[in-house]
Amino acid sequence: MGGVDLEDHKNKRELFGIIGHPVKYSLSPAMHNAAFKALGINAEYKLMDISPDDPEELANFCYETDLNHIGGFSVTMPYKNQIMEYCDHYDPLAKMVSSVNTVNVEDSQLIGYNTDAMGAAAALQEKTEIKDKKVLLLGAGGAAKAIAYALREFNAEVFIYNRTLEKAEALAEELKLETIDLDAIGGADFDIIVNATSVGMKPNIEETILRSEQIPQHAVVMDIITSPLKTQLLKEAEEAGAEIVTGERMLLHQAAGQFEIWFKQDAPIQVMEGALYAELEKRVD
């Protein structure tokens, strides 16, 4: 099979993994393999790079999950939407946000889920309540849509800012939210600010949509970017005296959600958290 190295699982261990391209920097194997080890689950979680250059590679991977003893898999860029074509079913949240980041293989069927939305909410909830809060969401892509949906579920008052206004308006219309102009943000006194754009991601680490003057001191500011963890936006937030939530918190909670879907039991979140930070320590930022 194409570029996916699945090895021969002679002892019939169940195989899990992450499909996407590129996946070599993924932090998911560290978290999931630590969870398997801690709970004595006979499974392994691997990187499964699927090249976007070969349209058949994704299809073949999906058709051969049973053959390869695959119990489930994570999905990352660029396949979160495309994978839906191969899912036999998906849960209503995944359908609503048109994005699947988790697939469970059940009776030879692929069932798609989205744990990004609730992962983002759980990461925020470590620092603040979401209910009735005034939230600024930066971005209107796939990640922003999942987060907007979760925030709305918690009854937050959500305003969307996006570089391309039409996309912000389309998302706001679909989810019955508001849009806001960049120059109105500073005076709007937001409680929570979430960056769901790629602005500030390596190598453009000096970029930020907002400066400290636009961030209220009482705000909680979260960035979903994990490379670097402390983005320029979060530096600006700290300068404003605001609290910050770095991207690995969402990563941890979405991974815990995946574990719960695959194994129908609570995730050993502290074990996963330890493995995540141990892995991050190894990487020079």
Between 185 and 275, name the residue whose CB sits nearer to ligand ATR.
185
Instruction: Report in angstroms how near the CB of residue 66 gets to ligand ATR at its nearest.
Output: 30
Cβ neighbours of 84 (radius 10 Å)? 18
In the chain, the DSSP E strands lie at 14-20, 43-49, 70-75, 89-90, 102-106, 109-113, 134-138, 157-161, 178-179, 192-195, 220-223, 243-245
Between 41 and 147, name the residue whose CB sits nearer to ligand ATR.
147
Return the bridge partners of 112, or none: 90, 103
Instruction: Report in angstroms how near the CB of residue 160 gets to ligand ATR at its nearest.
Output: 9
Instruction: Report in angstroms how near the CB of residue 13 gets to ligand ATR at its nearest.
Output: 32
Full strand arrangement of the beta sheet holding 192-195: 178-179, 157-161, 134-138, 192-195, 220-223, 243-245
| Residues of the shown chain interacting with ligand ATR in the complex, contacts defined by CB under 6 A | 139-144, 162-164, 167, 197-199
167 CB burial (10 A radius; 0-12, 13-18, 19+)? middle
Residues in the chain: 285
Instruction: Report in angstroms how near the CB of residue 118 gets to ligand ATR at its nearest.
Output: 17
- Candidates 10, 24, 37, 80; catalytic one: 80
Which residue minimizes CB distance to ligand ATR? Answer: 141
Between 75 and 272, name the residue whose CB sits nearer to ligand ATR.
75
Active site residue 80: yes
CB 262 within 8 A of CB 16: yes
Between 99 and 104, name the residue whose CB sits nearer to ligand ATR.
99
d(CA 42, CA 15): 9
What residues are annotated to the active site? 80
